[in-house]
Structure 1
């Protein structure tokens, strides 16, 4: 019998398992008020409540709720007032949305190779780098480069994680972007947050995300005298209400992940051909990351875990230099914009053409942890994983 059936457990990620109608007081209130647009009322909107709550939780001076993390990255880039065709250095291993956000802003993504833990290798950055996006992949806190004016943290998978100095991910760079996609620490299906301590940057972000003007609650629409064009990234009240419910469970989710991680460490098989990528104390421990001796062993592990109902995933699809958008410089514009502005820019930064990174990805396997399980159930899950790995 598969592990999910023995535990009566749905393989839903993290915050999704904490969605409960009886716990949805904010959503119920928003529905009862009949106001789902954040600027419709002069009272504090759900979106504003969410932003205030997030600022308090993360220690961020300014917070903006948007539709998704990709929009948050775009807003962060736009607020730097770039020139079309400027380069943005991004990790070579991350989700394609990072490159998409750069391209949609009229800028050129330059993949930078990663270290053994899939964090952007800051030693490869040129001394004149202006804009760098650092991704905290799999909840693992990545180091930030020094001396770069605009460091944007993609903390989509690392909500609640902390740097060694105690500051939360997303709050040390110029700006930080978070995701509430279904497969994230907390979820509203879709949704995003942007944080910054720069008041001028936040004002630009806030205006651009609603057609170029700063809105007055209860008096929509209004236009600034110095309005510029923008887009509509304004979140809705019902989505913000769900996110508020989720934020009440953030410490519970992170604590459950931490407990499951510790229990799993005690049960790992003693095999020299299966290693575990260590995690720092501040990581959001959303998964165990295994490094196998070979691609063949990794593939056997995938097959065995899948057959036994143990969720798992690999990371090969996140190698951006091999994604069609970057490899083929794909664009829907007739003139190839913005790639047509990139002739003099490097395609990627790597010492070996990403050979080492391909090998690491080929041998890496991730197994998610389940914070909602009781400790006894987490022990059962850890033992089931050990048995599956021992049987390879």
Structure 2
């Protein structure tokens, strides 16, 4: 029997209460501004030396993987599949249903077939137990959701190509101390405005196979094509690369700030509220997501925080789950269906000030039952 829907609890309208703490915000420093200004004054507006320097910085941190700067995380995922020879052949690519629709976009644009899979309760990453070993999978895109590492060791034997989606986990490590992004066959990072480092747009693709990296070069440099084939422009401009590189150089500082804020929030939680599942040492918390007991409590918590001027967010509505986007049966994805009615994300971002973090922590202490 399908349970009766829980009537929504009134939540203050977004414009009815002044917001003193936004849910997100980029941190742009004077060093960032100087780096972009220098790029603009240099005359290099297209891909150039700063893009190459950004690739070199990623390649050094994630040695021995090969780095290619791209126009977005979506472009990176698409090229990760094409670089491995999976383009335009209908290859099966498993993706978690709790995630951005860019996952579907990347798989379909690459000419592959998405296999949408439910997620684990703890990390919201793809559930390896739901991959049937009797049905071959050409690739898995393992998203480190909210910065929590996906179970890569369990996924590894189930696929020929393991792609790490690190768009929310740059700078983090798994429980074995391995850098996220250096474990799979390829990994992708995003520099979108709300990511760990923010250049507005852009991203980075890392690949273990040098031949795969050479194949991707054909999508970045039209002159590198031996034989003509249609290509999208996936290049990153030098001014955007300059901003990303400036922020990448202080990645450890950004990561430490995120960890400190997450610890501050956890310490402030009342006894009846559990900290976000999946948080562990070495991670870089991208979102600080509490789990309510259900929709009614979720709405009470969001209302409480918004009344305090804090932009709390449920993140993904049920209609945006990837299985729903494809018209698949919701009952086959029970974990994701529950999570969308329980998630409460509170502000956690690089530009969050001490005063703002204190305001959030104070509001968290009063979360209702």
Are 1:354 and 2:354 matched, yes or no? no
- 8 Å Cα contact 2:266/2:275 also seen in 1: no
C-alpha root-mean-square deviation of aligned residues, in Å?
2.4
TM-score, normalised with respect to structure 2: 0.86
Which residue is equivalent to 1:85?
Answer: 90
Distance 1:294 1:379 in 2: 27
- 8 Å Cα contact 1:161/1:283 also seen in 2: yes
Q: What do residues 171-199 of structure 1 show as CA deviations (whole Å, max 9, x unaligned)?
A: 21111111111111111111111011211
Unaligned stretches of 5+ residues in structure 1: 40-44, 215-223, 328-346
Which residue is equivalent to 1:76?
Answer: 80
Distance 1:70 1:30 in 2: 25
Which residue is equivalent to 1:382?
Answer: 361
Which residue is equivalent to 1:261?
Answer: 262
Which residue is equivalent to 2:231?
Answer: 230
1:34, distance to aligned residue in structure 2 (A)? 1.1
Cα separation, partners in 2 of 1:376 and 1:36, compared to 1, 3 Å: closer
Unaligned stretches of 5+ residues in structure 2: 1-16
Cα separation, partners in 2 of 1:375 and 1:305, compared to 1, 3 Å: closer
TM-score, normalised with respect to structure 1: 0.81
Are 1:160 and 2:163 matched, yes or no? no
- 8 Å Cα contact 1:134/1:153 also seen in 2: yes
Which residue is equivalent to 1:95?
Answer: 100
Distance 2:323 2:250 in 1: 37
Q: What do residues 329-357 of structure 1 show as CA deviations (whole Å, max 9, x unaligned)?
A: xxxxxxxxxxxxxxxxxx68x9x511343
- 8 Å Cα contact 2:173/2:282 also seen in 1: yes
Which residue is equivalent to 2:307?
Answer: 307
Q: Any idea what SS the aligned residue of 1:276 has?
A: coil
Q: Any idea what SS the aligned residue of 1:298 has?
A: helix
Cα separation, partners in 2 of 1:372 and 1:37, compared to 1, 3 Å: closer
1:3, distance to aligned residue in structure 2 (A)? 9.0
Distance 2:148 2:18 in 1: 26
Are 1:139 and 2:147 matched, yes or no? yes
Are 1:149 and 2:154 matched, yes or no? no
Cα separation, partners in 2 of 1:28 and 1:90, compared to 1, 3 Å: same
Pairing 1:32-47 to 2, within 5 Å after superposition: 32-38=41-47, 45-47=49-51
1:4, distance to aligned residue in structure 2 (A)? 5.8
Are 1:366 and 2:345 matched, yes or no? yes
Which residue is equivalent to 2:10?
Answer: none
Determine which of 29, 39, 60 is the counterpart of 1:30: 39
Q: Any idea what SS the aligned residue of 1:24 has?
A: helix
- 8 Å Cα contact 1:210/1:233 also seen in 2: no
Q: What do residues 83-109 of structure 1 show as CA deviations (whole Å, max 9, x unaligned)?
A: 522221111111000011111111111
1:236, distance to aligned residue in structure 2 (A)? 0.7
Pairing 1:45-64 to 2, within 5 Å after superposition: 45-64=49-68
1:245, distance to aligned residue in structure 2 (A)? 1.4
- 8 Å Cα contact 1:260/1:369 also seen in 2: yes
Distance 1:373 1:357 in 2: 29
- 8 Å Cα contact 2:73/2:203 also seen in 1: yes
Cα separation, partners in 2 of 1:235 and 1:300, compared to 1, 3 Å: same
Distance 2:226 2:212 in 1: 19
Aligned residues between the structures: 345
- 8 Å Cα contact 2:96/2:143 also seen in 1: yes
Pairing 1:298-337 to 2, within 5 Å after superposition: 298-314=298-314, 315-317=316-318, 318-323=320-325, 326-327=326-327
